[in-house]
Amino acid sequence: MTSPSNSGNGGGSSRSLIVKDLVKAYVPGKPVLKNISFEVRGCSTVAIIGPSGTGKSTLLRCINRLIDPTSGTITVAGHEITRLSGKDLRLARHHVGMVFQEFNLVERLSVIENVLCGRLGFVPVWRAWLRKFEQHDIERAFELIDMVGLTEFATQRADSLSGGQRQRVGIARAVMQNPDVIMADEPTSSLDPKTSVEIMGLLNDFSKAHDIPVLINIHDVNLAKRFADRVIGMSLGSIVFDGPPAELTDDHLKEIYGGEDWLS
């Protein structure tokens, strides 16, 4: 299977994610994800909301096969990746960028080196080892660092940064991959409210600038409504709401989360 060249040319239909009838059961007979189906295309910020344990993280990790689905299909940029393994799977993962709740940076490396880690799938091992990345990679990395507003921190160690700054590096790293889809697993859960808004804004900006769909797991419903143009609500492993945030009523939220006290 050949993977499409990761040239970065936009085109609404090439940047797409199609999930069909996805089922994941850790214990046979007790599925955590029950026939999940949805499609995302082009410039779009999709917020996935739902209570803890409803399978949001599992869903994201099934998409890039960090967890293997039990059944169903996942198609990224026109290529079905559910059955891939080994080198093909590794190459397919280039198309999906991921941002993590705990940032998952390599603390002892510098910011620029962390961002360049996004290119590790594309450069030979010796270049990674001797840090002899090609000039265009280095320039792109600096560009991204400028775009996330960390210009003066570029050569500092990652562990000298604050939480919000580290998440920016995480986003830059994911974008460095030139992916067709970006997924963010609770990117703001470890951050304070002001920084959370900045990070959500950043993800939105990248989606628009590169015409990429961005999937965000989030449990702050207000943030979701504010920044997403589409909300998917999950409850007990199934999708119970899929539409624009304007249509997300309190009844829907009750169905998704249960209970009323938390509704403002």
Binding site for another protein (CB under 8 A): 64, 66, 90-94, 96-98, 100, 102-110, 112-113, 116-118, 120-121, 123, 125, 128-129, 131, 133, 135, 138-139, 141-143, 154-155, 170, 173-174, 177
**At 18, is the secondary structure helix, strand, or coil?**
strand
User: How far does CA 49 lie from the centroid of its chain?
Assistant: 14
Q: Are 16 and 39 in contact (CB under 8 A)?
A: yes
Nearest distance from C-beta of residue 226 to another protein, angstroms: 27
Angstrom distances, CA of residue 168 to CA of 102, 112, 180, 196? 12, 12, 19, 11
Nearest distance from C-beta of residue 65 to another protein, angstroms: 9
Burial label for 162, CB within 10 Å (0-12, 13-18, 19+), is exposed
The candidate with the shortest Cα–Cα distance to 223, out of 182, 247, 194, 250, is 194
Q: For another protein, which is the closer residue by CB, 92 or 248?
A: 92
Q: For another protein, which is the closer residue by CB, 74 or 92?
A: 92
Nearest distance from C-beta of residue 87 to another protein, angstroms: 8
In angstroms, the CA 182 to CA 149 distance is: 20
**At 71, is the secondary structure helix, strand, or coil?**
strand
Pinpoint the alpha helices (H) of the chain: 56-63, 86-92, 111-116, 125-130, 135-147, 163-176, 193-210, 221-227, 250-257
User: How far does CA 237 lie from the centroid of its chain?
Assistant: 19
Nearest distance from C-beta of residue 80 to another protein, angstroms: 16
Nearest distance from C-beta of residue 167 to another protein, angstroms: 12
Q: For another protein, which is the closer residue by CB, 98 or 202?
A: 98
Q: For another protein, which is the closer residue by CB, 88 or 198?
A: 88
Q: For another protein, which is the closer residue by CB, 16 or 177?
A: 177
Q: For another protein, which is the closer residue by CB, 50 or 118?
A: 118
Nearest distance from C-beta of residue 116 to another protein, angstroms: 7
